[in-house]
Copies of this chain bind each other. A is one copy, B any other.
Amino acid sequence: MAPKYQMVADSLRTDILDGVYQKRMLLPTEQLLCQQFQVSRQTVRQALALLVSEGLIERRQGSGSHIRDRSKPAPMPHRSIAVITTYISDYIFPSILREVENVLSDHNSAPLLFATQNQVSNERKVLNTLLDLTSLDGVLVEGTKTGLPNPNLDLYRRLIDRGVPLVFMNGNYPELTDSLSVLDDNATGGRMLVDYLHQKGHQRIAGIFKNDDIQGHQRYAGYAGALRTLGLPFEDQQVFWYSTEAKESLFLDGTGVKYLEQVLPGYTAVVCYNDEIASRLVAQLVKRGVSIPEDMAVVSFDNSQYSEMTTPRITSLSHGTHNVGRMAAELLMHLFEGVPCQSQVAPWTLVQKESS
């Protein structure tokens, strides 16, 4: 059976060519298409992206999917671009994908979106799907579990061998030495947060990091390096490592609760891997009567909605006007245009709030 998005695209294509939408020259909204085909919004978007890449429709922000007048030549080449991220609708991913879509839209393209849920088994399915596409011009991809050996490098290499340009976002695979990437400046970020806390008078600074993503390793490396440079205490037990699979029950049982109740009381500040974790940590600390920032300062990465919605709001590192999604999409466009390119890092600025 063909993938769902392809079945949706097939149906819409037939209708377009049969003149079903001739009157308004406009497709139904994404929401209506979801209802009509009983599929998710992601599937509808993939179907629409395919039709864009075929030159059948144009997507304009705010006014929907327009049927193209096929008597006129397409103003720019339509490119079929796959975008693979770990998540689509969670955390910072909507803002990354929005920027990717904007850049692609400016270049008359639209992304085919895929999410791996940070599972290498899903990543493998997505890569196999890409290898089966008749047309694929480029891939923007966030690596999956980049802190562990990746079992799918064979498929990435097949894409590379076919000459499909890849740009990695957020996390990459060092084994694919020639691939370009746009990454957070993770190690510098870790150092910045420790330096900031130290300037506020903190000496005993704990850390919580993700162990299966390269971002977690790099943020930890910056954190540990700064403690060393400043001569601050550093024992392994002050660092709590968690995995993708453990995230959901973090601080609710086992070693997480032990860390919260037996280790953290010996520290006055904690550097968190990201706002999502910081927000959960704050909730559990508040529940236990810990005053933030008086008893425990909490700082974090990403300056996302999570850091705004938590009480107290969380001091966090921001990319400001730099958006990894936009930077990566622009890098890919430059590759298409033959502009010489190199990998980039997105710098951080600290946004101080009430948690520190």
Residues in A lying within 8 Å of B, measured CB to CB: 119-121, 124, 145, 148-149, 151, 154, 211-212, 217-218, 220-221, 224-225, 228, 234-237, 241, 243-246, 249, 253-256
Contact = CB atoms under 8 A, between A and B. Distances in A.
Contacts of A254: 246, 249, 253-256
A116 to B, nearest CB: 10
A151 B237 contact: no
Contacts of A217: 148-149
A228 to B, nearest CB: 6
Given A121-B234, A211-B243, A249-B255, 12 more contacts: A119-B235, A120-B224, A124-B234, A148-B211, A149-B218, A151-B228, A151-B234, A154-B228, A236-B245, A245-B255, A249-B254, A253-B254
A148 B235 contact: no
Contacts of A243: 211, 241
A151 B249 contact: no
Contact of A236 (B121, B211, B255): B121
Contacts of A249: 254-255
Contacts of A225: 151
Nearest to A257: B254
The quantity of this chain's copies bound in the complex is: 2
Contacts of A244: 236
Nearest to A155: B228
Contacts of A256: 254
A11 to B, nearest CB: 31
28 contacts: A119-B235, A119-B236, A121-B234, A148-B217, A148-B241, A149-B217, A149-B218, A149-B221, A151-B221, A151-B224, A151-B225, A151-B228, A151-B234, A211-B212, A211-B241, A211-B243, A236-B244, A237-B245, A241-B243, A245-B255, A246-B254, A246-B255, A249-B254, A249-B255, A253-B253, A253-B254, A254-B254, A254-B256
A260 to B, nearest CB: 13
The 7 closest A-B pairs by CB, nearest first: A254-B254, A149-B221, A151-B224, A119-B236, A253-B254, A121-B235, A149-B217
Nearest to A118: B236
A253 B151 CA distance: 29
Nearest to A209: B148
Contacts of A148: 211, 217, 220, 241
